[in-house]
């Protein structure tokens, strides 16, 4: 977000709308907010009210100083009919959604779009999966161009948080709860990380030690090794430097020895 999140009341106002049953995410998200020390109040819009809540007077559009989350199952916007008839309707839904996001942005509302994993085969035919993939790519490309809005592709969360099964056809048919409990938990984790980054000031400096930090062991006191965990730390720190973070070294070692 370009502007900060208002916490004048002591709580972050988190409002969520979705085109499917999103209520299972609330418990996980509330748990993360508590663990992160972010006082919050979570409100969930009525079922399948994404467009309505972006309109004038809607729950999301009026939440100008808080956190807005829009959870999307793009498969839900692809009608169960021939792909020739269904795909244009999906494309129109994406176009209308982006237009409403721009309008809400112009009014001062901002937030994140959570794009949940698509069904894919064998739940959906390959042509349907391709149409949904194209819609997701369109959203991921357009959201960054809308001031104050970002898109989070939750497909990455499946691998990152070791989600075994993302979708549950049984609960989807029973109550339009298309995702498993572990997927809702992974989505809440991704959302919580984004909320924390939004609510806190960015860090500009990382201070590192040398011994048992950049390498395993103590310089001058036996064997020193740069094993895999330390290499991963090196790679991560170099990525932070590329992002503009200043890296500093604080060590009791002689500077020449460390550089060597």
Report the chain (260 residues): mean pLDDT per 10 consecutive residues.
48 96 97 95 96 95 95 95 95 97 95 92 82 96 95 94 94 93 97 91 83 83 83 90 88 69
Which of 174-185 are b and which e, b meaning 16 or more Cβ less than 10 Å from the residue's Cβ? eeebbbbebbbb
> What is the structure's pLDDT at 204?
85
Q: Are strands 12-18 and 67-72 parallel, antiparallel or unpaired?
A: parallel
The domain of 91 spans 12-199
- Sequence-ordered alpha helix ranges (H) in 79-125: 83-106
> Contact 258/249 with Cβ under 8 angstroms?
yes
Closest CA to 171 of 186, 183, 159: 183
> What is the structure's pLDDT at 218?
83
Q: Are strands 40-44 and 12-18 parallel, antiparallel or unpaired?
A: parallel
Give 222's strand partners.
none
> What is the structure's pLDDT at 3?
41
> Contact 157/119 with Cβ under 8 angstroms?
no
Return phi, psi of residue 246, to 5°.
-85, 125
Rounded to 10 deg, the angle between the 25-35 and 181-199 helix axes is: 40
Residues 81 and 106 in one domain: yes
Residues 153 and 55 in one domain: yes
Residues 243 and 116 in one domain: no
> What is the structure's pLDDT at 125?
86
Residues 158 and 224 in one domain: no
> Contact 191/112 with Cβ under 8 angstroms?
yes
Residues 195 and 86 in one domain: yes
Q: How many domains is the chain built from?
A: 2
Return phi, psi of residue 242, to 5°.
-65, -25
Last residue of a domain, one of 199, 218, 238: 199
Last residue of a domain, one of 199, 232, 249: 199
> What is the structure's pLDDT at 249?
83
> What is the structure's pLDDT at 203?
75
Residues 67 and 102 in one domain: yes
> What is the structure's pLDDT at 2?
40
Closest CA to 14 of 31, 34, 29: 29
């Amino acid at each position: 977000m370009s502007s900060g999140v208002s916490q004048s009341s002591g709580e972050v106002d988190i409002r969520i709308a979705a085109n499917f049953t999103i209520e299972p995410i609330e418990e996980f998200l509330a748990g993360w907010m508590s663990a992160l020390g972010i006082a919050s109040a979570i409100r969930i819009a009525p079922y399948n009210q994404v467009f309505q809540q972006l309109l004038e007077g809607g729950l999301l559009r009026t939440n100008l100083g808080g956190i807005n989350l829009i959870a999307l199952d793009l498969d839900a916007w692809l009608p169960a009919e021939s792909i020739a008839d269904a795909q244009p309707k999906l494309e129109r839904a994406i176009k209308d959604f982006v237009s409403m996001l721009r309008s809400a942005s112009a009014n001062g509302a901002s937030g994140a779009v959570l794009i949940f994993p698509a069904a894919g085969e064998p739940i959906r035919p390959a042509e349907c999966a391709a149409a949904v993939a194209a819609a997701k790519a369109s959203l991921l490309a357009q959201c960054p161009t809308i001031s104050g809005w970002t898109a989070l592709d939750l497909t990455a969360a499946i691998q990152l948080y070791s989600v075994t099964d993302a979708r549950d056809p049984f609960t989807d048919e029973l109550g339009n709860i298309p995702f498993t409990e572990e997927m809702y938990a992974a989505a809440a984790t991704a959302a919580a990380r984004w909320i924390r980054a939004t609510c806190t000031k960015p860090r500009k400096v990382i201070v590192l030690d040398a011994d048992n930090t950049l390498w395993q062991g103590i310089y001058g006191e036996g064997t020193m090794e740069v094993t895999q965990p330390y290499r991963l730390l090196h790679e991560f720190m170099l990525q932070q430097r590329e992002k503009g973070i200043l890296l500093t070294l604080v060590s009791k070692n002689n500077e020449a020895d460390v550089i060597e």
